[in-house]
């Protein structure tokens, strides 16, 4: 199972990063595509300047300098705010899956009124899910802006593949979150799925597909962010 997941991840990693090498100091995996016109790059984690030297036709990373001045992140806002969407969204996911399971049970058991089921808590759970969904999506905007600002200052806007990936995934999460906020009231009416019409079925499928995709996107963002800060 783990080998299959690794294969799946490595397939996408190769597509995104291309050929990679390991920083000789901090062991961060870096992309050869990040090298500048002088075949150099500054490691975003440890700050050494790495030059790619050709040895018998093979590129070998050689350290030839260290970046002395590196500004610290602004108020450390990015690491602080990043925990809000990452901390809240799993509860959005779990809450909506709970409502989905309860709705399917209601359908099978022939219960039509959500207020007469589970002590009438379904509308409350649905509202809590919507509030947490809104907070995690809105806070991801602050996370994105603070991260973008850190990249400009701390990494001097150097075009790392890993940063491009983070920017792309952040936009993707914002898109998924916004669509889910718009669809939530259509999908959960009185806190339960109604399965009443084709458009509602369609909205429900989109909602849960985006929910799963947003969860994967956010997990990847957190993983890549942590990797960039703490290394391997």
Give the residues lining the site for Zn ion (CB under 5 A): 23, 25-26, 28, 43, 45-46
* Residue among 45 and 172 whose Cβ is closer to Zn ion: 45
- Measured in degrees and rounded to the nearest 5, phi and psi for residue 8 equal -60, -45
- Greatest CA separation found in the chain? 76
Closest CA to 38 of 65, 10, 9: 65
* Residue among 45 and 192 whose Cβ is closer to Zn ion: 45
* Residue among 45 and 129 whose Cβ is closer to Zn ion: 45
> CB of residue 25 vs Zn ion: minimum separation in angstroms?
5
> CB of residue 48 vs Zn ion: minimum separation in angstroms?
6
DSSP codes of every residue in 78-135: HHHHTHHHHHHHHHHHHHHHHHHHHHHHHHHHT---GGGSGGGTHHHHHHHHHHHHHH
> CB of residue 81 vs Zn ion: minimum separation in angstroms?
25
* Residue among 23 and 203 whose Cβ is closer to Zn ion: 23
* Residue among 45 and 125 whose Cβ is closer to Zn ion: 45
Closest CA to 103 of 172, 196, 228: 196
> CB of residue 50 vs Zn ion: minimum separation in angstroms?
8
At a CB cut-off of 8 Å and minimum separation 6, what does 192 contact?
99, 102, 103, 106, 114, 117, 122, 126
> CB of residue 44 vs Zn ion: minimum separation in angstroms?
8
């Amino acid at each position: 199972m783990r080998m299959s997941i690794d294969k799946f991840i490595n397939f996408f990693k190769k597509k995104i990063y291309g050929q990679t090498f390991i920083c000789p100091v901090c062991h961060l995996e870096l992309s050869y595509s990040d090298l500048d016109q002088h075949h150099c790059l500054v490691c975003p984690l440890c700050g050494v300047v790495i030059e790619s030297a050709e040895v018998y036709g093979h590129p070998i990373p050689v350290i030839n300098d260290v970046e002395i001045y590196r500004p610290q992140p602004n108020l450390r806002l990015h690491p602080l705010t990043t925990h809000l969407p990452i901390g809240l969204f799993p509860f959005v996911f779990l809450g909506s899956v709970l409502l989905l399971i309860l709705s399917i049970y209601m359908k099978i058991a022939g219960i039509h009124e959500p207020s007469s089921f589970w002590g009438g808590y379904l509308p409350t759970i649905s509202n809590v899910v919507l509030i947490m969904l809104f907070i995690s999506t809105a806070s991801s905007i602050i996370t994105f802006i603070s991260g973008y600002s850190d990249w400009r200052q701390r990494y001097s806007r150097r075009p790392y593949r890993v940063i491009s990936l983070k920017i792309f995934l952040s936009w993707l999460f914002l898109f998924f979150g916004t669509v889910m906020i718009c669809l939530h009231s259509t999908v959960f009416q009185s806190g339960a799925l109604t399965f009443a019409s084709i458009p509602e079925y369609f909205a429900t499928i989109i909602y849960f597909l985006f929910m799963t995709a947003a969860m994967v996107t956010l997990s990847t963002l957190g993983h890549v962010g942590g990797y960039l800060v703490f290394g391997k």
